[in-house]
Amino acid sequence: MSAWATVAIIAIIVWGVVQLSKARHRADRGIVVDERGNESVADSGTDAETNREIEDLRERIKVLERIATDGNSLDTQETKRIAAEIEALRDKRAE
């Protein structure tokens, strides 16, 4: 067997290993390849998972908005005013 034949066989084996590795990597990430070689993400439940995560994030934002705005409500301002009056009375009595 000549040196060129050995190089050709090794190149074919390396090419096959690379193709298998790419196929496994694509399958792990949910990537499909069409007959023209174009890659796209498979729709096997990723949309449902993404939508669920978006809804969770929206709920978190609502909670954060409520926390941020509750400090400005009339009830909160009244509570702070009463607490300040109580502290002022305590300070006067301590003198």
Q: Is 70 within a domain?
A: no
Report how far residue 30's alpha carbon sits from residue 70's, in angstroms, rounded to the nearest whole number.
Answer: 44
Q: Is 53 within a domain?
A: no
Can you give the pLDDT at residue 46? Answer: 63
pLDDT tens-digit series, residues 74-92: 777 788 888 888 888 888 7
Report how far residue 30's alpha carbon sits from residue 53's, in angstroms, rounded to the nearest whole number.
Answer: 18
Q: Is 25 within a domain?
A: yes
2: containing domain: 1-42
> Does position 58 have pLDDT exceeding 70, yes or no?
yes
Can you give the pLDDT at residue 63? Answer: 84
Q: Is 77 within a domain?
A: no
Domain total for the chain?
1
Confidence at 9, pLDDT banded by 50, 70, 90: very high
Q: Is 34 within a domain?
A: yes
